[in-house]
Amino acid sequence: MTGQLELLARCALPGCPDVVTAAGDVCAGCVQACGPYLARREPRPEVTPEQIADELAERDRGTIAAYAAQAAVVADVDPAVEWLAKRRVEKHVTVHPEVLKVIEAVEVRKSNQLCWLCEERRACTHIDGRWECDKCRGIQ
């Protein structure tokens, strides 16, 4: 465990600053908020508070690593930029030229659009002011 041992144990749920009576316990507020989603563990008298703190820290490191991996997979496009790009295409909204530079790079897709090449309704991508389906985009 890094740092010094705290005199009072904190709630076992990440982010909760409340104090509990024993290390590894969950505070009443978290029990009320999470209810049946919390899994009860049998008491382990042979485990010291330091070991419990280390286990919780290891769990939190694993969670942080999972969030980091998930964030690395997510596209670089900000959801607000995607929303602006879709709004510009669908509603023909004019935007500031600086914003236009950013949102022009975003690929806008929408289902049930009429492809200008095959004239079928499919999920299409907006390209140069027209909708193209994936099938027709692949025919080049």
* Global confidence as pTM: 0.42
Give the residue from 30, 31, 8 showing the smallest Cα distance to 19: 8
pLDDT in tens, the chain (140 residues): 444 455 688 888 887 889 998 888 899 999 999 988 988 778 788 888 889 888 888 888 888 888 777 766 655 557 777 888 888 888 777 777 777 777 787 889 999 999 999 999 999 999 888 999 999 988 76
SS3 93: coil
